Amino acid sequence: MMSRISSVAKRHPLVTFFVLAYALTWWASIVYAFYPNPFPVFPYGPFLAAIITLGLTGGKGGIKALLRRIVMWRVGLRWYAIALFLPVGLALAAVYLDVLLGARAPSLAEFGNWPGLLILFPLTLLIGGPLGEEPGWRGYALPRLQIGRSALAGSLILGALIALWHLPLLLTSEEPVPAGAFFPEIIAGMIVISWVYNSTQGSVLLAALIHTSHNTIEGFFGSMFSGANLTNLYWLLAGVWVLTAIVVVLVAGPAHLSRKHHKQEVMEPLSFPASVADAPQTTRA
């Protein structure tokens, strides 16, 4: 039985991964339907799916390679700045535009709650999803989706599948975002995260950090608005992320979504560059 499952996984590794990612995530929705709990999805489903698929197809070498990418931290300070503060800048732009359109401006007292982000950020990273998602989405799926495709095409496919993966959150109203705004923002965000991932030669850590920054800051500002103003804010957030993704594609190029490095197509199991700055370009297998 196991040999048959392993054989199927080796012939269709991406299909195996996505089926497992959905199944290992959406089982929580069944529990949620009978006993509402904080999450109608299990956020570590993609990570577990990647580990299982690698175990079936690549053995320990593939798993170790993925784990190394999660702790690949020597990528240059500017990429940390981009990962941490780009989502903040985009959220501030959306809030400013919302206020210009008539929303109540957040009070100084509300902005004064920002130190709470120092606690919310690590909680979001560990519990809210990014560390459970990005090893699967970026660490496993994206390099394979980029084989024989441009980085942009691979990111668009991945973005559409990730948007669908969030469906239980939309159906249970755990994500109070209009679907028409949610899906474009998710797909645009995936392009931007892929740009960070490819430009850092495959650092899952940096992908998780920008994902965490996005989730944390949007939750922070989203709590300051309600009703039509909150709906407008989500549409504006979608707009600024789509514009940012367009700029990334124009500047970094659709082929690699990186001005300096090749798109990540494979995970090198034996060695990793000490830093992006002094590393040669990724070779393809």
The predicted-structure confidence for 123-153, as pLDDT tens digits, reads as follows: 999 987 899 999 999 999 999 999 999 999 9
User: How much is the pLDDT for 169?
Assistant: 84
Say whether pLDDT at 278 is over 50. no
Q: What is the mean pLDDT of the chain?
A: 89
Tell me the average pLDDT across 251-261. Answer: 96
Alpha helices (H) in 101-200, listed in sequence order: 108-111, 117-126, 130-136, 142-145, 151-165, 167-171, 179-199
Question: Which among 131, 134, 183, 154 is positioned nearest to 254, based on CA atoms?
Answer: 154
Query: Cβ distance 206 to 215 under 8 Å?
Result: no
The rounded percent of the chain whose pLDDT value lies above 70 is 91
What does R_g of the chain's alpha carbons equal in angstroms?
Answer: 19
Say whether pLDDT at 118 is over 80. yes
Say whether pLDDT at 69 is over 70. yes
Most confident listed range (12-21, 178-187, 219-228): 12-21
Q: How confident is the model at residue 269 (pLDDT cuts 50, 70, 90)?
A: very low
* Residues 6 or more apart whose Cβ sits within 8 Å of residue 263: 146, 150, 151, 154, 198, 255, 256, 257
Number of H helices, E strands in the chain: 14, 0
Most confident listed range (165-169, 179-183, 248-252): 248-252
Give the lowest-confidence range in 72-86, 121-135, 231-245.
121-135
User: How much is the pLDDT for 174?
Assistant: 61
